[in-house]
Amino acid sequence: MTIPREETQRVIDTHRAASAAMMMRSDYLVPDCFEEQAARFGERTALIYEGSTISWHGLEARSRHYAQIALASGLRPGDVGAVMIENRPEFFYAWLGLARIGVIAGLINTSAIGIALAHALRVTSARVLFIGDECMEQLCATENLPDEALTIVRVPDHATPDAPRHPRARELDSFEVTATGAGELRAQRAGIDSRRPCFYIFTSGTTGLPKAALIGHGRFLSVGAGWRSVVELGETDVFYCALPLFHGAALMSLYSTALQCGAAVLVRRRFSVSRFWPDVKQWGVTVFQYVGEVVRYLVNVPPVPEEQGHGLRLIMGSGIGIDVWQRFKQRFGEHVLILEGWGATESNANMTNFDQKPGSCGRIPFPERSHVRMLRYDQGSDELVRDADGRYILCQPGEVGELHGQIRRGNGEWVAPFEGYTTEADTEAKIRRDVFEPGDAWWRSGDLFRFDEDGYFYFVDRIGDTFRWKGENVSTTEVAQQLSVYADAETTNVYGVKVPGHEGRACMVALEMKAGRAFDPQAFHRCVSDKLPVYAQPLFVRVLAQPEVTANFKLRKVRLRDEGFDLRTISDPLYGLDRERGSYAPLDEPLLARIAAN
């Protein structure tokens, strides 16, 4: 049964009003909210990690110590301190400690290495790096780090006892800190407006190296305020955090909500399908933040006793297909609310499927009451469609289009601000101007959708050079840059392909070999393993007889992407990533089955 449009709009309006009210509190920052909750909840559990608990008082004390270290390192309000720590309490100590003295935290992907890591530190202008032992090997392998002005602070990790030591790294206890109370920390950040950045989150964008998106204090807090206005959540809830905290989903969506509820957060370094239900049962988990891939893992594994009689009542995230949605409900309980949604780290627009419509990521019941518009998009030519007069065309139900969020009207009136990135060029690249009237401005999502007659939206794909795999955005340009060291290839064409049974697209590369050179599977595997994180490693390789380029020598992707790795129709040599053998091997049905099973 379709929910009446007005009923859906009522929920959307409630969510929007709560978010906007929080955004309007210009003098209320993330650390203000945290310190209030720490004073309120005291010895109640704030974090759960590896069988131990940290109280709100403990979290306050440890984050205060990290704030003191940051001050002793020379950081002052408005400066940037980078954090490169996996999901463990020390991430919160560092992040909150920086926020409490008005320092912006640059959250570094814990898989970053080489060019990507050096770029992240430079583009944020970080003066201090809190880095966990678990990431120290990557730092040691990275050349061209910023100069001596960057202070590197080693954060010990008992799970990485043999971590190398970087010659520039200082120990946590090597700093002469000054005893500082909460009141003195508040004085440090006095006068900071909530629209100022609290932290930077890196997003792949559509081309090139990751961009640092600005996340203001007010925007972070508005996310949790919005959720709490439409879902019953409170201090007795337990949130399950297994997605990376340097990403928007875990930090902005999950922790913003848990923080404002005063709820406990169970933190896992990474998602473990075998530990999920035992954790849920042992710790009374009620809320889980997901990406579609992890939900697919849960419905594909054999049953375990702990999945019966559990207390999980809400999962929220993005990327669940209709089949996985239905299987999850049938197996784990119709009572579990699935809040499937869509949004981007830096976006000024988002949506949520409040109506529980399987497969949909949200609904816009009345377009005229929304600042979101869909412009018709031609996937074959990879460009927006225009009419005979050169104007953009609004999508009708069933048509594929790129989603846009209005920033301001032609008369200069603000509609939904876009905070942008650390560089003006990156920010401007995400804005489309003069779309419907002279002077208007729209944030361009880079995401393709279609919607039905009832206003329900369905995600189609990423545009062009970026695709999603294992919950990560993979930039084809960045992958190609990293693989450029494979000297036998003349051209390296990277694109995403569908894999049966998986959400998103996996990385595939088409290589044109240099004259007289042959594809070396083992050498290419060494290059891939050294240069790329697991989620960005090509699962398939196609060795082209001739290059796929346009008349102006741009690499063609559409035909290659459409053909994928079809063994029946492709005559070019095909290879698959054989992780068991540690190499690429000629692709056949058995290898394809093994790849699809992982």
* pLDDT tens digits, 185-243: 999 999 999 999 999 999 754 446 789 999 999 999 999 999 999 999 999 999 999 99
Identify the pLDDT of residue 553: 44
Q: What percent of the chain has pLDDT over 90?
A: 77
Mean pLDDT of 570-585: 94
pLDDT at res. 208: 62
**What confidence tier does 2 reach under pLDDT thresholds 50, 70, 90?**
confident
DSSP secondary-structure letter at 131?
A: E
Q: What pLDDT does residue 209 have?
A: 78
Q: Residue 183 region, left (φ>0) first, then alpha (ψ -120 to 50), else beta?
A: alpha
- Kindly tell me if the per-residue pLDDT of 439 is higher than 80: yes
Distance CA 299, CA 475 (A): 29
Examine the pLDDT at 257 and tell me if it is beyond 80.
yes
How much is the pLDDT for 396?
Answer: 97
Question: What confidence tier does 78 reach under pLDDT thresholds 50, 70, 90?
Answer: very high
- For the chain, what percent of residues have pLDDT higher than 70? 97
In this predicted structure, what is the pLDDT of residue 403? 97
With a cut of 50, say whether residue 16 has pLDDT above it: yes
Q: Is the pLDDT of residue 552 over 50?
A: no
Half-sphere exposure of 505 (CA within 13 A, CB side): 24
The maximal CA–CA distance of the chain, rounded, in angstroms, is 71
Q: How far is CA 269 from CA 60, 89, 157, 243, 287, in A?
A: 21, 10, 12, 8, 17
* pLDDT of 283 above 70: yes
pLDDT at 477: 73
Per mean pLDDT, which range of 96-100, 148-152, 478-482 is the poorest? 478-482
Higher pLDDT, 473 or 297: 297
* pLDDT one-digit tens code per residue, 129-180: 999 999 999 999 998 898 878 999 999 999 999 999 999 999 999 999 888 8
Going from N- to C-terminal start, the domains of the chain cover 466-597
**pLDDT tens sequence across 406-435:** 999 999 999 999 999 999 999 999 999 999
Residue 466 pLDDT > 80: no
What is the 3-state secondary structure of 511-546? EEECCCCCCCHHHHHHHHHHHCCHHHCCCEEEEECC
What Å distances lie between residue 354 and 229, 276, 340, 342, 397, CA to CA?
A: 12, 25, 8, 12, 20
Q: Which residues are CB-contacts of 388 (< 8 A; sequence separation ≥ 6)?
A: none
Q: DSSP per residue over 275-286, as a string?
A: HHHHHHHHHT--
**Arithmetic mean of pLDDT over the chain:** 92
The answer, yes or no, to whether residue 284 has pLDDT greater than 80, is yes
Q: Is the pLDDT of residue 256 over 70?
A: yes
CA 523 to chain centre: 31
Q: What is the pLDDT at residue 549?
A: 57
Q: What pLDDT score was predicted for residue 551?
A: 35
Go through 442-464 and write b for each residue having 16 or more CB atoms within 10 A of its CB, e for each that does not.
Answer: bbbbbbbbbbeeebbbbbebbbb
* pLDDT score for 436: 94
As separate numbers, helices (DSSP H) first and strands (DSSP E) second, the chain gives 18, 29
Distance CA 499, CA 480 (A): 21
> Which CATH architecture best describes the domain 466-597?
2-Layer Sandwich (3.30)
